Each structure stands twice: as C-alpha cells, then as structure tokens.
C-alpha cells in the first residue's frame, strides 16, 4: 500500500531539514511550492518548473472548482494528468480565496456561499465539499477547509473564526476518511494571539493530521508581526510533522520562517513578479523595466545558471519587457523560481551542515550590497 512519511534528517537551532515521501515523489524540506493557480504555473512548462528544482506544486481549489470544474478534471484523469505534472500537488481548501476574491459571500456554520468573480454564478463550499473537490482533483496533500479573517481584526472576531475553523477541521477530517498515499493538513488559526494559537494547535493535535499549516499570516500584518508570531506558533504544533506556512513570501520572509522551524511555503510572488519585470536575486530586487539596463550586455546574475541568466543580457530582458513580449515573463519567471529553489537548497545544505547562522549572515550581506553598479 502506498504510504506517506516525513523524516527530519538534521536540525540547526529551530530550523530543520528532511523529506516528505509520497507515492508521487519526495519533497525535500524546507520546500518552496510554486503556485499553479489555474492548472499552470503561468509562463512555465511543467518540465521547466521541475528543472528549477521544484518538488511539488500548489493548485487552487477555488479557481479550479470554478474553471474548468473539479468533476471535469476528474473525468479527464485528474489534475496531474490534466496539467502534465507527475510530481506531488498540494491543493488549498478554497476558503482563503473565497474570502479574498469572491463577491457576495455568506458565511454560516455549514460553510460559505459566494458568487464567482469570473461570471457571477453561485457556488457553495463546505468542509465536505472542499474535501470532495480536492479528492476529484487528485491532490496529494489536502488542506482542511478553514476561515481566515483579514488582519487587523479584533480579538473576538479572531477567536470566533478560529473556533469555527476548528469545528470545520473535525468535519474535514471526517469527510477526508482513510486515503493511503494522501495527506491531510490541519490549519492553525488565532491571528497574532499566542493563547488562541495554542488553543487552535491543541484542537488540531487532538483531531490528528498528517501535517500542520500556520494560516492567517502574511495577510497584511507586516514582517515583524509575522516573525513575532512565528517565534511561538511552530513550536505549538507537533514536532514530528511537517509545518507549512501558507502564502509566504519574499526571500527574507522565507529565510526568517525557516529559521523559526517552518518546513514548507508557497507564494505567487516569484511568478507574479516575473510577469511585471521584477527579478529576485541574491543581491535583492532588480527592476528590468529601468532604463539603466537598456545598454547593459551583462547577465541579470552572472552566478545564476538559469536560462535567462545563461543566455540573455540585461539589455535583452529590458527590451522584451518594454516591448510586452511573452518571453519577458517566461524568462523572468524562470529566473525567479530558479532563485527561490536555489535559496531553499542552500538552506537545506546549511541546516545539514549546522551552518545556518553563517548562511543567514551571508544572505543578508549580499542583499545589503545591492545590485551590481551600472555601467
């Protein structure tokens, strides 16, 4: 019977490295998951995403249930086959995006009804329906259906929302059933409140999940507040299960999260930035739209081995970006995803070598040095 497993192979301070094993492949942790919202990482062929070093992709339940529809994906052989990605896929529950994208929401104990942001059609999501959709998609790592209030919110609102999410977590667990080879993750809520986070962690642990996500962060609270919460939240969760910080983030957010014991992250940032002329490098952010690059024959990052840096100049990247050519988004998305995966690999190596502090110091020093001088 195909099974899943999580092994921690080394620790350095609170940081851990290891691997999640699934029937569809191994996920090296800490892992960054590129976001394949609508069954594609925008601008990338799946084999190119794999080449950047990604072990796992994220798919969005909300988007896929609206278009093309979960039942249709199931009829066509499941999401892996549909989008030609053979590796593991994690799907979110749809809850967060209903809150952030859909119009005219109505929230009850049972679930949420909403209007599609695409065509205004009416839909419903509940813990049971979210589990069904994620099963139809064929997701390897399924997320509990939860509710996440935008911050800032008052304590009473956060508390009520967290308790609702814990009742939904039990219903998600019951509806998920026993599915060997697939994992179900619970989602801790509680805003920035330590006692509410602890209550949430206790409720989830009592139910029992294959992994635990930290939800409700990276929703506008700022890095300092997020790190403040990560100073205690991961340690409230079971030590021997994967910990997933949802929706994070910028490279320095990621490094700070891994330092605090996070094993998995996802974010649209590297792909979204790539489509707007923004590159992430070890020396920080570079805006390729800037006229300073127009005559620059040098690569974006001479130490980077991605196709954008190996084969093209800053001048070319600037030109295709300015001209609105598709290849601009393709090359910069590739570079950004490659950079993110290199960063994860460096952190895994540093943790294994017991050298995370030295890695972190170098990471910040390189960024502080800034982009190469203009010609």
Active site residues: 92, 266
Least distance (Å) between residue 333 CB and Zn ion: 11
Task: Find out whether 304 and 286 touch, Cβ atoms under 8 Å.
Answer: no
- Tell me the closest approach of the beta carbon of residue 319 to Zn ion, in angstroms: 17
Calpha distance 31→263 (Å, rounded): 6
Choice between 228 and 307, CB closer to Zn ion: 307
Cα separation of the two ends of the chain: 60
Using the rule CB under 5 A, is 44 a contact of Zn ion?
no
Query: How far, rounded to the nearest angstrom, does the alpha carbon of residue 307 sit from its chain's CA centroid?
Result: 24
Looking at the Cβ atoms of 57 and 304, the one nearer to Zn ion is 304
Nearer to Zn ion (CB atom), residue 92 or residue 301: 301
| Binders in 327-366 for Zn ion, by CB under 5 A | 335
* Helix residue spans in the chain (DSSP H): 46-51, 61-66, 70-75, 79-83, 95-101, 127-137, 155-176, 194-207, 223-230, 233-236, 251-259, 269-274, 307-311, 314-322, 326-352, 356-369
Give me the least distance between CB of 276 and Zn ion, in Å please. Answer: 17
Total residues interacting with Zn ion, rule: CB under 5 A: 5
- Taking the complex as a whole, how short is the minimal distance between the CB of residue 307 and Zn ion, in angstroms? 8
Structure token pair of residue 294: 């127009």
Binding flags for Zn ion, 211-250, as an x/- string (CB under 5 A): ----------------------------------------
Choose, by CB under 5 A, the member of 54, 304, 328, 343 that binds Zn ion: 304
Cβ neighbours of residue 193 closer than 8 Å, sequence gap 6 or more: 155, 158, 159
Residue closer to Zn ion by CB (options 134, 336) is 336
Our CB check for Zn ion shows the closer of 133 and 308 to be 308
Find the binder of Zn ion among 237, 309, 330, 337 (CB under 5 A): 309
Which region among 38-46, 131-139, 302-310, 349-357 touches Zn ion (by CB under 5 A)?
Answer: 302-310
- Say what angle helices 251-259 and 223-230 make with each other, to 10 degrees: 20
The 183-188 sheet, strands edge to edge: 31-34, 264-267, 243-245, 211-214, 183-188, 141-143, 89-91, 57-59
Residue with tokens 């609206």: 66
Q: How far is the CB of 300 from Zn ion (least distance, A)?
A: 6
Contacts with Zn ion, residue ranges (CB under 5 A): 304, 306, 308-309, 335
């Amino acid at each position: 019977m195909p099974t899943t497993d999580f092994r921690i192979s080394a620790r350095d301070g609170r940081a851990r490295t290891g691997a999640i094993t699934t029937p569809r492949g191994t996920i090296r942790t800490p892992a960054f998951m590129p976001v394949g919202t609508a069954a594609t990482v925008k601008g990338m062929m799946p084999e190119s995403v794999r080449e950047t070093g990604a072990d796992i992709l994220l798919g969005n339940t909300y988007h896929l249930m609206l278009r093309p529809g979960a039942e249709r994906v199931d009829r066509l052989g499941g999401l892996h086959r549909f989008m030609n990605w053979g590796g593991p896929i994690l799907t979110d529950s749809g809850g967060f995006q209903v809150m952030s994208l859909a119009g005219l929401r109505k929230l009850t104990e049972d679930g949420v009804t909403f209007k599609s942001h695409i065509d205004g059609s009416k839909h419903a999501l509940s813990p049971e329906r979210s589990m069904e959709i994620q099963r139809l998609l064929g997701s390897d790592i399924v997320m509990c259906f939860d509710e996440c209030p935008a911050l800032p919110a008052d304590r009473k609102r956060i508390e009520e929302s967290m308790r609702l999410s814990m009742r939904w977590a039990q219903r998600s667990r019951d509806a998920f059933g026993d599915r060997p080879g697939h994992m179900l993750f619970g989602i801790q809520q509680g805003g920035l409140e330590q006692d509410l986070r602890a209550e949430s962690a206790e409720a989830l642990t009592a139910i029992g999940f294959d992994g635990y996500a930290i939800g409700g962060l990276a929703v506008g609270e700022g890095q300092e507040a997020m790190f403040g919460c990560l100073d205690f939240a991961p340690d409230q969760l079971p030590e021997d299960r994967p910990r997933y910080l949802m929706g994070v983030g910028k490279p320095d957010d990621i490094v700070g999260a891994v330092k605090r014991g996070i094993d998995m992250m996802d974010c649209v940032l590297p792909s979204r930035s790539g489509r707007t002329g923004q590159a992430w490098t070890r020396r920080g952010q570079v805006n390729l739209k800037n006229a300073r690059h127009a005559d620059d024959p040098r690569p974006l990052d001479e130490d980077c081995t991605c196709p954008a840096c190996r084969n093209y100049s800053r001048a070319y990247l600037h030109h295709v970006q300015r001209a609105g050519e598709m290849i601009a988004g393709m090359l910069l998305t590739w570079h950004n995803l490659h950079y993110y995966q290199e960063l994860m690999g460096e952190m895994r190596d540093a943790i294994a070598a017991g050298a995370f502090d030295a890695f972190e110091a170098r990471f910040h020093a390189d960024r502080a040095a800034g982009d190469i001088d203009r010609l």
